[in-house]
Amino acid sequence: MKTLFLLLAISPLVRIPIAAQQPSSPPPSDDPFVWLEDVEGSRSMEWVNAKNAVTIAALTRSPLYQTFYDRIKQILDSKDKIAYPQIIGNSLYNFWQDAEHERGIWRRTSWASYATANPAWETVIDVDSLSKAEGVTWSWSGADCFEPEYKRCIVSLSRGGSDATETREFDLTTKRFVSDGFKIPEAKTNTAWVDDSTLFVGTDFGPGSMTTSGYPRIVKLWKRGHPLASATTVFEAPADHVGAFGFSVDAGDRRYLRISDAINFYESGQYLYDKGRVTKIDVLKDADLYVLRDQMIVYVRDPWTVGGKTWPTGSLVATSIDDFMAGKRDLQLVMQPGPRETINGVSTTHDYLVLNVLNNVRGELRRYRHQGGGWTFEKVPAPDLGTVGVVDRSPRSNRYFFSFTNFIQPTTLYVTAENGVVSEMKRLPAMFDASALVVEQEEATSQDGTKIPFFIVHRGTMKRDGSNPTLLTAYGGFEIANTPSYNSAVGAAWLERGGVFVLANIRGGGEFGPQWHRAGLKEHRQRIYDDFTAVAQQLIKDSVTSPQHLGIRGGSNGGLLMGVALTEHPELYNAVVIQNPLLDMKRYSHLLAGASWMAEYGDPDKPEEWAYISRYSPYQNLRPGTKYPTVLFATTTRDDRVHPAHARKMAAKMESMGIPFYYFENTEGGHGAGVTNAQRAKEFALTYVYLWQQLR
């Protein structure tokens, strides 16, 4: 489970968007590169442009660059890609990008048409045309449509891919923005439909309306036809909490209005809102909540003693919402995962809970129904040895889409009918030649004796002589499970050319439930880095590769992982790709959304917590006179989630020490590799040229 904060009917870990903000404390006087925190300052951008020019000149000289760029751009633009559907009313919607639609189109079709080989799509919003007409490089950030009428939507658009969005009301019938409708200027905004004329809204209302993490702390009711300034406050969170957010949950037969007071990244106070009254939901602060018709579903992280019974970590329990709010505590077990299992996702249809279960990091779907006073389930027919996940569902029917993917089998989209019959809907054609490839699951032993599974993808004829160019990746944080997937760029630019790909399931992730994640929190974070090191050492021990031919790659929290691997064990690697990373862990909590992650890493302003953070923080642990592999940094100017200064400052410090590196910063892309396919293909091509130069 990996998305926002404890929603009632959708996955609870969607991360809230964040926009650029000023540092929350004065910059340190002893940091010679703090000026690079000025995101778009002239001095900063001169430095960025100079480093970009050097990197682009060096890596595009390789004949591989244009080969990779053309191939990856062709894959990204392919009209044979699966158009993943979003169920809105009686239509299926899809956001699509290709060579003719660089910024994309939001389009729709009927169920019957979607089932054909060439659906008839109707364009609803053309983001390229909108960008041209308004002179803004818009990026699509999604739409929230009011049910069950599905006539009006709140559409979010961001500049250059940033998390901050401009919010506008849109009419699905006329396919036009509503001239006198809801509209909120660019900000860190959260909205939810209360009724067809009222919104929950959290945004930057002015001084004092935002938390130290940069999120809205006030939820207001905003009536149609009235200025935003007249919206009335229904809830306020303390300024040192992460934020307060309103949600609207369509449970099919009933609408539930939710408010979540996010105390930190993993703990929230949960409330129901009804006719002006806010009532607390008495569950543990780290529980996830869902709704299936009249049932409240609770995912238990800490053991929960309630009604005379203790529910263990990882269990899923349920009860009547009305009964629970009335004080009754008669809960029933829905599922208790086994020792190598975890619930990796929860979705709801009209009558069913659909659970995405990981069994030793291999996915399956189970469908549960509440009937006859208890819960029954059946396994949903799906392929084995890969990743399955619900693509979209509606609380107003039992039809839903799910996908299956693994490293070498092209992704397949399935649809489940009202009667539960599963049929294949779409299949991605092969985007690279996987005929000679095999997938194995192996284990390494970490420093404390914990067994760490990892997947290895390679040619069946691979010789274990230590000479194989090998790319190792992992994430290791925020209870996010890293599972097998069909990655066309990795396949075309790496595997097809004889490279070995390794995915490590280290602690900090969600592969084995909450305890696997918590084993690497705060003062225990070194376990995560030891796990990653153990996998690298196992690959070398087994002669899959050697330090000369071993490269690593990771982004965001995974970029921090790469930075630690670089500074703790530079002798193990010859290539390190660090993307959109956290690296200065002394300053991270004062940059953009950093304060919201202190429940994961700790608070560096507390001496007792900086004591353990300081031992691994890459920026502080870079040492002169040490032989480091040549690193490739990649970030974006418009990343308003993880500050680009992390990568900038690390590179600048390396430069001051005479340590060589490559640096590439895209001016668009937000917390990713670009907005357009051309931008994404450029970064991918630069990355794989670098990897082959370093590791062949």
Q: Which residues are marked as active site?
A: 556, 671
Distance, CA of 659 to CA of 651 (rounded, Å): 9
Q: Which residues contact 478 (CB under 8 A, 6 or more apart)?
A: 2, 13, 265, 508, 509, 517, 557, 600
Strands 243-250 and 198-202, by their bridges, are unpaired
Helix 526-541 × helix 557-568 angle, to 10°: 60
CA 529 to chain centre: 21
Give the type of residue at 671: H
Residue 571 near residue 480 (C-beta atoms within 8 A): no
Q: Which residues contact 584 (CB under 8 A, 6 or more apart)?
A: 591, 617, 618, 619, 620, 645, 646, 649, 650
Q: Can you tell me whether residue 654 is helix, strand or coil?
A: helix
Range 51-60, long-range pairs (CB < 8 A, 24+ positions): 51/651, 51/663, 51/664, 51/665, 52/663, 52/664, 52/665, 54/662, 54/663, 55/632, 55/662, 55/663, 55/664, 55/686, 56/664, 56/686, 58/662, 59/662, 59/686, 59/689, 59/690, 59/693, 60/686, 60/689
Cis peptide before 570 (omega within 30 of 0): no
Q: Can you tell me whether residue 227 is helix, strand or coil?
A: coil
Strands 550-555 and 470-473, by their bridges, are parallel
> How many CB atoms sit inside 10 A of residue 147's CB?
18
Distance, CA of 363 to CA of 582 (rounded, Å): 30
Residue 202 near residue 244 (C-beta atoms within 8 A): yes
Residue 243 near residue 213 (C-beta atoms within 8 A): yes
Of 674, 678, 691, 676, nearest to 74 (Cα)? 678
Strands 255-262 and 288-292, by their bridges, are unpaired
Beta pairing partners, 243: 262
Q: Which residues contact 278 (CB under 8 A, 6 or more apart)?
A: 234, 235, 259, 271, 272
Q: Which residues contact 166 (CB under 8 A, 6 or more apart)?
A: 156, 157, 158, 159, 183, 184, 185, 186
Write the DSSP symbol of residue 216.
Answer: B
